[in-house]
Amino acid sequence: MGRWGDGEDKEDKEDKEDKEGIPNSQFPIPNSQFPIPNSQFPILNS
């Protein structure tokens, strides 16, 4: 499976890394904003 699908696997891996790499660089930015609203969530929860 891995032998004959090596070419496909490599393409899939590159595609995944490429797609993930784009949003990944954007996640860290909003991530720093998440902790801020996170502290407000517990208030809304209660």
- Residue 1 is assigned to a structural domain of this protein: no
- Residue 31 is assigned to a structural domain of this protein: yes
The Cα 10–Cα 4 span in angstroms is 11
- Residue 27 is assigned to a structural domain of this protein: yes
Question: Taking 60 as the threshold, does the pLDDT of residue 44 lie above it?
Answer: yes
What range defines the domain where residue 32 resides?
Answer: 6-45
* Tokens linked to 9: 């696997």
Q: Evaluate whether 34 touches 41 at the Cβ level (below 8 Å).
A: no
- Residue 32 is assigned to a structural domain of this protein: yes
- Residue 25 is assigned to a structural domain of this protein: yes
Tally of domains within the chain? 1
Distances (CA, A) of 41 to 3, 8, 29, 31, 33: 49, 43, 19, 15, 13
Reported pTM: 0.12
- pLDDT tier at 42, thresholds 50, 70, 90: low
The Cα 6–Cα 46 span in angstroms is 52
Through-space distance between the first and last CA atoms of the chain, rounded to whole angstroms:
52
Question: Taking 60 as the threshold, does the pLDDT of residue 3 lie above it?
Answer: yes
